[in-house]
């Protein structure tokens, strides 16, 4: 194995492969690398991905072994890229899979489920999955400082996990994030850097900073490990459905990583014999119309997207140049899924519809997913009998600004029964 560019590898200890990890592998040319803090192939600039020893995993991983594991994503640790027992982020994952009968009725779907990551531990978004994996791997690799480029939720999760690990932390965010997401960093006392630019500017800057400082940028040099955490969304879905793969999934797209890893998770489970293969699974993507490079490419029948300048209330999905946009289009294409997009008013309608039918208060990204699910059902891309899972990835208390002016005021009364009768006057 060659590893010419592993400049920031503070300690060699963590690079020894576990029984189930073979190394990193270039997605494009297949070259192999050490399990270091690197993410790009030196030869072809392709992204690196974790390579597992599936034969060894097959010998130990059974449904029974999974069910005896912890009530967290670590029950799937054989398929996650950490070498030692995890010590941080022990409670991420295993969020509820809700049978959404009332939302299903509103949309004409009889077998609809919601994977509810609005209640992920500790920071109420799906990012707690990827960060739980990244932070353990960063510690194994000997890093003392963690960092990230974030659209909001990632920074919250990195800040919280770094605090609980006692690590130094720098988070970089666009300057115009929601108040709840900014506060959701500051409370953990990291260094919060608000960059005058959009996420794509923040990300580019962080690549430059990462070349100078020996830090674990969870979604840059640690990205191959980080991204694998998203597979747990698929593993849990399959297990919670009684060990089966659904017919349709609807997944919000920011960088596109979550969508590709949900596909990968289902593929791994079926090729390991944990669930029956389901060649009919369709993976659908959901974007905000104000930042929809993947949707636009899909509609034009292109395999590559054109970067855009984001302008949407769904700030957590506002990535104009998505790192995994190309691979998302590939997964949607080969699974015969579709990509939809939702305007800002449709996003708010989606948030309200989910809340009033299922009692789930999701952030704007959840509104995107519900609005796109509705469009897919309406045009018949998802049929009434399809076993469908929609991924709700973040909590509405973090994006309250989006609802300003959309909800009625409370009914104000004097503290008297007469006032209640007169003004509320319930029938
Ligand atoms: C980050 C994020 C996503 C999607 O992330 P990918 O970059 O596509 O993996 C979806 N929903 C929310 C709420 C997020 O914060
Ligand atoms: Zn390569």
Quickly state the pLDDT bin for 11 (edges 50, 70, 90).
very low
Cα angle for residues 69, 267, 36 (degrees, 5° grid): 70
Q: Which atom of ligand 1 is nearest to the CA of 255?
A: 7
- The structure tokens listed for 106 are 């509103």
- Tell me: pLDDT of 1 over 60: no
Q: Are residues 222 and 238 in the same domain?
A: no
Q: Is 153 in the pocket of ligand 1 (CB under 6 A)?
A: yes
Domain that holds residue 35: 6-53
Q: Are residues 349 and 397 in the same domain?
A: yes
Q: Is residue 111 part of a domain?
A: yes
Quickly state the pLDDT bin for 17 (edges 50, 70, 90).
low
Residue 394 alpha carbon to ligand 1 centre in Å: 8
23-38, pLDDT tens digit by residue? 999 999 999 999 999 9
- Tell me: pLDDT of 163 over 80: yes
The total of structural domains in the chain comes to 3
Q: Is 227 in the pocket of ligand 1 (CB under 6 A)?
A: no
Q: Are residues 202 and 240 in the same domain?
A: no
| Eight-class DSSP state of 327 | H
Q: Are residues 390 and 307 in the same domain?
A: yes
Q: What's the confidence (pLDDT) of residue 427?
A: 84
In DSSP terms, 342 is beta-bridged to 288
Q: Are residues 192 and 112 in the same domain?
A: no
Q: What is the mean pLDDT of residues 137-163?
A: 97
Q: Is 14 in the pocket of ligand 1 (CB under 6 A)?
A: no
> Would you say how long the chain is, in residues?
427
Q: Is 233 in the pocket of ligand 1 (CB under 6 A)?
A: no
Q: What is the mean pLDDT of residues 109-124?
A: 98
Q: Is 125 in the pocket of ligand 1 (CB under 6 A)?
A: yes
Residue 48 alpha carbon to ligand 2 centre in Å: 8
Q: Is residue 423 part of a domain?
A: no
Quickly state the pLDDT bin for 360 (edges 50, 70, 90).
very high
Task: Return all residues near 271 (Cβ < 8 A) that are at least 6 apart.
Answer: 54, 277
Task: Return all residues near 409 (Cβ < 8 A) that are at least 6 apart.
Answer: none
Q: Are residues 392 and 254 in the same domain?
A: yes
Q: What's the confidence (pLDDT) of residue 145?
A: 98
Of 260, 322, 258, 261, the closest CA to residue 295 belongs to 322
**How many Cβ atoms are within 10 Å of 393's Cβ, its own excluded?**
28
Of 276, 254, 32, 257, the closest CA to residue 133 belongs to 257
Distances (CA, A) of 393 to 39, 124, 202: 25, 8, 22
Q: Is residue 273 part of a domain?
A: yes
Q: Is 260 in the pocket of ligand 1 (CB under 6 A)?
A: no
Q: What's the confidence (pLDDT) of residue 18?
A: 72
- Tell me: pLDDT of 2 over 70: no
Q: What percent of the chain has pLDDT over 90?
A: 95
Task: Return all residues near 290 (Cβ < 8 A) that are at least 6 apart.
Answer: 310, 311, 312, 313, 314, 318, 343, 344
Q: Are residues 19 and 110 in the same domain?
A: no
Residue 243 alpha carbon to ligand 2 centre in Å: 35
Q: What is the mean pLDDT of residues 346-371?
A: 98
**Mean per-residue pLDDT of the chain:** 95
Nearest-CA residue for atom 11 of ligand 1: 393
Q: What is the pTM of this model?
A: 0.95
Q: Are residues 11 and 113 in the same domain?
A: no
**Helix or strand run (H / E) with residue 264:** helix 257-271
Q: Are residues 323 and 382 in the same domain?
A: yes
Can you tell me the distance from the alpha carbon of 201 to that of 174, in angstroms, rounded to the nearest whole number? 8
Q: Is residue 412 part of a domain?
A: no
- Tell me: pLDDT of 240 over 90: yes
Q: What's the confidence (pLDDT) of residue 8?
A: 45
- Tell me: pLDDT of 312 over 50: yes
CATH of the domain at 117: 3.40.50.1100
Q: Is residue 254 part of a domain?
A: yes
Q: What is the mean pLDDT of residues 226-240?
A: 98
Q: Is 394 in the pocket of ligand 1 (CB under 6 A)?
A: yes
In what side-by-side order are the strands of the sheet with 97-99? 97-99, 112-116, 388-392, 248-252, 282-288, 339-342
- The residue from 185, 211, 226 where one domain ends is 226
Q: Is 364 in the pocket of ligand 1 (CB under 6 A)?
A: no
Strand locations in 117-190 (E): 145-149, 168-174
Residue 25 alpha carbon to ligand 2 centre in Å: 8
- Tell me: pLDDT of 90 over 70: yes
Residue 31 alpha carbon to ligand 2 centre in Å: 6
- Tell me: pLDDT of 4 over 70: no
Q: Is residue 59 part of a domain?
A: no
Q: Is residue 372 part of a domain?
A: yes
Q: Which atom of ligand 1 is nearest to the CA of 323?
A: 7
Q: Is residue 69 part of a domain?
A: no
**Nearest ligand, CA 254:** 1
Residue 117 alpha carbon to ligand 1 centre in Å: 11
Q: Are residues 158 and 255 in the same domain?
A: no
Residue 56 alpha carbon to ligand 1 centre in Å: 31
Q: Are residues 210 and 196 in the same domain?
A: yes
Nearest-CA residue for atom 7 of ligand 1: 255
- The structure tokens listed for 276 are 């029956």
Q: Is 79 in the pocket of ligand 1 (CB under 6 A)?
A: no
- Tell me: pLDDT of 271 over 90: yes
Q: Is 221 in the pocket of ligand 1 (CB under 6 A)?
A: no
Q: What's the confidence (pLDDT) of residue 3?
A: 40
Q: What's the confidence (pLDDT) of residue 310?
A: 97
Q: Which atom of ligand 1 is nearest to the CA of 363?
A: 13
Q: Are residues 265 and 374 in the same domain?
A: yes
> What does residue 51 show for φ and ψ, rounded to 5 degrees?
-110, 125
């Amino acid at each position: 194995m060659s590893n010419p560019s592993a400049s920031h590898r503070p300690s060699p200890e963590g690079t020894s492969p576990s029984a189930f990890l073979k190394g990193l592998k270039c997605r494009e040319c297949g070259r192999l690398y050490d399990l270091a803090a690197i993410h790009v192939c030196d030869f072809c600039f392709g992204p690196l991905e974790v390579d597992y020893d599936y034969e060894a995993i097959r010998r130990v991983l059974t449904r029974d072994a999974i069910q005896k594991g912890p009530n967290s994503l670590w029950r799937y640790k054989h398929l996650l890229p950490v070498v030692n027992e995890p010590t941080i982020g022990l409670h991420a994952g295993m969020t509820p899979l809700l049978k959404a009968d009332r939302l299903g009725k509103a949309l004409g779907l009889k077998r609809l489920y919601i994977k509810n990551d609005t209640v992920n531990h500790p920071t109420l978004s799906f990012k707690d999955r990827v960060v739980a994996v990244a932070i353990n791997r960063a510690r194994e690799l000997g890093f003392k400082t963690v960092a990230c480029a974030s659209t909001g939720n990632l920074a919250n999760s990195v800040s919280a996990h770094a605090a609980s690990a006692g690590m130094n932390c720098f988070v970089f965010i666009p300057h115009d994030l929601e108040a709840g997401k900014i506060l959701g960093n500051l409370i953990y006392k990291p260094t919060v850097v608000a960059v005058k630019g959009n996420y794509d500017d923040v990300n580019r800057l962080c690549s430059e900073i990462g070349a100078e400082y020996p830090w674990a940028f969870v979604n840059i040099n640690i990205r191959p490990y980080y991204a694998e955490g998203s597979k747990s969304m698929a593993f849990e879905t399959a297990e919670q459905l009684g060990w089966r793969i659904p017919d349709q999934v609807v997944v919000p797209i920011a960088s596109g990583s979550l969508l590709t890893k949900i596909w990968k998770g289902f593929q791994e489970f079926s090729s390991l014999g944990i669930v029956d293969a389901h060649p009919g699974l369709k993976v659908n993507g959901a974007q905000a119309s104000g930042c929809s490079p993947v949707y636009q490419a899909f509609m034009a029948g292109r395999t590559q997207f054109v970067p855009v300048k984001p302008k949407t209330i769904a700030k957590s999905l506002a990535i104009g140049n998505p790192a995994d946009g190309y691979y998302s289009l590939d997964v949607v294409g080969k699974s015969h899924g579709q990509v939809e997009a939702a305007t800002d008013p449709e996003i708010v309608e989606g948030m309200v519809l989910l809340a009033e039918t299922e009692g789930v208060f999701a952030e704007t990204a959840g509104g995107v997913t519900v609005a796109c699910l509705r469009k897919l059902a309406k045009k018949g891309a998802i049929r009434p009998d399809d076993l469908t899972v929609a991924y709700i990835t973040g909590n509405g208390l973090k994006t309250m600004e989006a609802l300003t002016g959309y909800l009625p005021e409370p009914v104000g009364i004097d503290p008297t029964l007469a006032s209640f009768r007169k003004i509320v006057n319930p029938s």
